[in-house]
Copies of this chain bind each other. A is one copy, B any other.
Amino acid sequence: MSPPPDPRQNHLLAALPEEDYAHFSLLMEWVQMPLGKVLYEPGIQMRHVYFPTDSIVSLLYVMEDGSSAEIAVVGNEGVVGVSLFMGGETTPSRAVVQSAGYAYRLKGQLLKNEFYRAGPMQGLLLRYTQALLTQMAQTAVCNRHHSLDQQFCRWLLLSLDRLSSNELIMTQELIAGMLGVRREGVTEAAGNVQKAGLIKYSRGHITILDRVGLEKRVCECYAVVKKEFDRLLPE
Contact surface of A with B, Cβ cutoff 8 Å: 59, 61, 63-64, 67, 69, 71-72, 82-83, 85-88, 91-93, 116, 118, 123, 126-127, 129-134, 136-141, 143-145, 180, 220, 224, 228, 231-232
> Which of B88, B138, B140 is A127 in contact with, Cβ under 8 Å?
B88
Assess whether B145 is in contact with A87, with CB atoms less than 8 Å apart: no
Q: How many copies does the complex hold?
A: 2
Contacts of A144 in B (CB 8 A): 69, 143, 180
A180/B87 contact (C-beta < 8 A), A63-B220, A92-B228, A140-B136 known: no
The secondary-structure label for the interface of chain A is helix
B133 touches A132 (CB 8 A): yes
The smallest beta-carbon distance between A133 and chain B, in angstroms, is 6
Q: Would A71 and B180 count as touching, CB distance under 8 A?
A: no
